[in-house]
Structure 1
Amino acid sequence: MLPPSSAIPKLNLTPEEQQVAADEVAAVLAETLEIEREFLAESGPLDKRQWKEVKSRDDFRVFKERRRVRGTGATTSGPQPLLPGIDIEDSRVTKTRSTISSAGDGVVSSIKEPHVPMIVAAGHLEGQIEDVIYGSVAGDEISWRLRTTYMKDKFADAKIVATIKEPTRENPYDYLAIKWFVREHPPMLSLFVQPRDFLVIEATGYTVDKYGQRHGYYIIHEFHHPALPELKELGVYRCKMSLCFISRQVNPSKVHIFARGFVDPKGDLAHGVTVALTAEAMLSTAHCCDSSYAKKLTWLMSKHRLQRQQQRQQQQLVESASCQSCQKTSGFLKASLTTCHLCGCIFCSRCTVQRKIIIDVSTGGVTERSFPFCHGCILRAKQQSPYDVAVDQVTQIASLSASFVSRPKTMSVASSTDSRYGITVSRPPLRPGPSPPMEIGSILS
């Protein structure tokens, strides 16, 4: 049986359609930045009468908007001021309050049904902002599957249907595309819940706000197109969603993340289940840095493959091996000595850590394996500039595309090694053709 993605065609968007998508992203980002500013203006906790904490992980918490009963007796969950008691003398905040307090005025609230609660998440991650952004970027099908695996937010089926803006050497984090996917649910839940698919605009970037402060963003926002109708005949519900994540470096080792949006699963899915699944998806942001570290570690492995092979050949000539860190010798402890999968040097088990790395991406899924790495190489991968890795991968994309175009049409490739990620793929990555020149605006320039 063919997967639902087989019924999803690729799109050739017109310049006007691309512009509309870019403008929609710009509007969502601008709105979220203003609400984030309001959130940060009040350092105290959220008003428990209005917001209920539904899930947390470490220092990252997710809240849902409570339903409120007004004078007419009607129950609503329309957007309210995010925090009470903000200094109304601040004209910038006062302006924001007046525009986000009225139901239906905001870009996000205007597409949300009244009974669907707004979700807000906030917290801190240990690390660097560029690791948060690089861990989120998924500019092609392979990197998308790597991200969902490392961030523990797996999809049952997925497809990139159009690419509007690709990462460049100058802006390796900037990306804008139309994506379709079916999120993977827990096995027990899948027995009772019909599949839900999402058709969204996805955007990532690293830019400066109107106050001159740098920030990263990750946006997924609903998209509609007549060529991509709902798959009702396949028993699949089309969800509505809009989520925007803003990240900022608040000190040399900590990043603050603010997120806002909603997910409307349609159908008869229980309200509590919807909120729980949305919260879990938002909490996957906590794995951004881990995703970046894993991708950088794999990149380093691909860059130093020859050096590692030479190191192992030299060590095979040495009869008595010892740990390069603590000098523990082999002897009867020989079985406890192992080789670092990056540098190729020998270490004891106490001087290594196991890390799961994706080694193969095929049509059937991804294959992960645990490898030993010395503490020095783990630190090296953590400190490796994500910007340099992203630029190198963008450069290799251009080379791969040129190579693929020049390959004879009669030549088929069942599997190959993608040098960008150092993994085996079952086929060349499917990449939409280049988009025509267009004016996308400051958010994507």
Structure 2
Amino acid sequence: MAPVDLHHVALPAFTLSPERQRTLLAERDALIETTLELRSAFAAGGHQLDTSAWKLVKTVDDVRAYRSRRALHGAPDQTLDDTCDMDSSSSRSSSPSSSVDRNQLPSLGSSSSSGCGGSGSGSGRSSRPGRRPRRFCPSVKPAARPPAVVISGVIDGTAEDAVLGLIAHTDVQFKTRAAHLKTELDNARPLAELVLPTQEDPLVYAAVKWGLEPYGRFSQARDFVFLEAGGLTTDAEGHVVAYAIRQSVDLSDVIDLPRLPHTIRGYMSGCQTFGNMTPRGDTAHRTVEVFSRAFIEMDGSVPANMAAAAYAEKLMALALIIECAYTHKLAYLMRRSTTRSQCGAQWYRHSSNTCTNCTRAVCRVLFRPLQSGGSCRICQRTFCGKCSITRKMYVTLGNEVLQKEMLFCLECLLEAKSLDAHVVASDKINW
């Protein structure tokens, strides 16, 4: 069956009331708060998970993905009110409260309490106002709640860089991000934009989207209606933390989305955080700590643990979000270089057969194996292969994003990495 382009699906006109928008943003804030509490509990437990409760799914460099084990879902302290909430929400009720019930789940389930280094219930949300008292539901199967997923590790970059790569409020920016991550929901379509980047606050975004995710020829596709949000916040210690959210929401009382053929409605809840680990003034080697909590409920015939493992691998791609930010920074420098040239400013533009850095002869031939350099796409100076790096960039052609290899000198690459993400994000608003 040919893939469905959600942008071509006819939808009725609808609007979200200010009260409904505030409710959605309150869900965002609650999810951020919960995840930051879990992040603190995880750090207090020595950044370790109990291997009897959590299974390692994948490791890439210093980033690890875990899913909760099947036995954990049947533990008494995890199958009380929260399991009942999930069981009731899995009935696919069109009531607006169904998404709220899912939101009231602890971010990792109560399983995170036993998993974060045996930290007890300190990371739970049992004291949150409005939660129902715990109760036992004997009719609920132990696997009624979807397995939880945790991502933890360290990557290069800053929290601000993470948000720069994550925010995509236009189709072109979304396609650029998708080209880097290669795990995006296929042709996600914005339904309502709640918060847009501004010149004063360029690193923030929130919107409700409708996305489609194909799962190969042997499984039906899933579509999701979700709140996507990204921005910066602070933790309990006042440190800057970047966040990225995808949280399923119920808008059935506002808009009647068509049911796509051979497609099942899925539900997900995920919050990724990126916290700076190096002092702000240290530009030599900046790193961020990644912590993510999530679950996905796909329904259909896909085993829950298999779905969670696949979801964990997709979340691992978030480690590449810094590379997406670097692409934006390099594009910013290229735009600035072009503007200077058009304004007649003195720049480095010249043609030479010797490397600007080491004076080695630069061989300009058509055969890739023998090519040993060229002109930097930013400063236009000539460099040999040892003093330059060829990097894959994504350029726009109309509404399409194409991949192209471009050569950059080391000096311009270092300048791009050290650029303030706020400056680039402010300029990116006009791209």
TM interval, shorter chain, is 0.7 to 0.9
2:192 aligned counterpart, secondary structure: strand
CA–CA distance in 1 between the matches of 2:322 and 2:119? 35
Contact 1:230 1:237 in 2 (8 A): no
Q: TM-score of the superposition, structure 1-length normalised?
A: 0.75
Q: Does 1:246 align with 2:248?
A: no
CA–CA distance in 1 between the matches of 2:118 and 2:240? 24
Post-superposition offset of 1:231: 4.2
Cα separation, partners in 2 of 1:35 and 1:46, compared to 1, 3 Å: same
CA–CA distance in 1 between the matches of 2:315 and 2:183? 9
Match in the other structure for 1:121: 151
1:304 aligned counterpart, secondary structure: helix
Cα separation, partners in 2 of 1:330 and 1:6, compared to 1, 3 Å: closer
Q: Does 1:350 align with 2:352?
A: no
CA–CA distance in 1 between the matches of 2:31 and 2:38? 11
Match in the other structure for 2:54: 51
Post-superposition offset of 1:133: 1.6
In structure 2, the gaps of 5 or more residues are 84-107, 135-141, 280-285
Q: Does 1:387 align with 2:422?
A: yes
The partner residue of 1:15 within 18, 27, 43 is 18
Match in the other structure for 1:6: 8
1:315 aligned counterpart, secondary structure: coil
Post-superposition offset of 1:220: 0.8
CA–CA distance in 1 between the matches of 2:294 and 2:304? 16
Post-superposition offset of 1:263: 0.8
Q: Does 1:33 align with 2:36?
A: yes
Post-superposition offset of 1:42: 0.8
Question: 1:297-317 deviations in whole A, cap 9, x for unaligned?
Answer: 01111111255688999635x
Post-superposition offset of 1:104: 8.3
Cα separation, partners in 2 of 1:233 and 1:357, compared to 1, 3 Å: closer
CA–CA distance in 1 between the matches of 2:220 and 2:298? 10
CA–CA distance in 2 between the matches of 1:249 and 1:85? 22
Query: Percent identity at matched positions?
Result: 27
CA–CA distance in 2 between the matches of 1:67 and 1:332? 59
CA–CA distance in 1 between the matches of 2:313 and 2:388? 31
Contact 1:231 1:238 in 2 (8 A): no
Cα separation, partners in 2 of 1:134 and 1:244, compared to 1, 3 Å: same
Q: Does 1:236 align with 2:239?
A: no
Equivalences, count:
376
Cα separation, partners in 2 of 1:70 and 1:122, compared to 1, 3 Å: closer
The partner residue of 2:245 within 195, 202, 219 is 219
Question: 1:377-435 deviations in whole A, cap 9, x for unaligned?
Answer: 111111111111112233x3xxxxxxxxxxxxxxxxxxxxxxx2xxxxxxxxxxxxxxx
Contact 2:383 2:409 in 1 (8 A): yes
Residue 176 of structure 2 aligns with an amino acid whose one-letter code is: L
Post-superposition offset of 1:330: 4.7
Match in the other structure for 2:161: 131
CA–CA distance in 1 between the matches of 2:381 and 2:159? 31
Cα separation, partners in 2 of 1:82 and 1:176, compared to 1, 3 Å: farther
Contact 2:57 2:65 in 1 (8 A): yes
Residue 382 of structure 1 aligns with an amino acid whose one-letter code is: K
Q: TM-score of the superposition, structure 2-length normalised?
A: 0.78
CA–CA distance in 1 between the matches of 2:122 and 2:115? 12
Question: 1:310-339 deviations in whole A, cap 9, x for unaligned?
Answer: 8999635xxx62111110135798963411
Post-superposition offset of 1:22: 0.6
CA–CA distance in 1 between the matches of 2:398 and 2:309? 30
Match in the other structure for 2:183: 153
1:207 aligned counterpart, secondary structure: strand
Cα separation, partners in 2 of 1:104 and 1:149, compared to 1, 3 Å: farther
Match in the other structure for 1:377: 412
Post-superposition offset of 1:210: 4.3
| 1:56-67 correspondence runs (5 A) | 56-67=59-70
Match in the other structure for 1:436: none
In structure 1, the gaps of 5 or more residues are 107-111, 397-419, 421-445
1:251 aligned counterpart, secondary structure: coil
Cα separation, partners in 2 of 1:78 and 1:391, compared to 1, 3 Å: closer
Match in the other structure for 2:329: 296
Post-superposition offset of 1:264: 0.9
1:190 aligned counterpart, secondary structure: coil
Match in the other structure for 2:226: 200
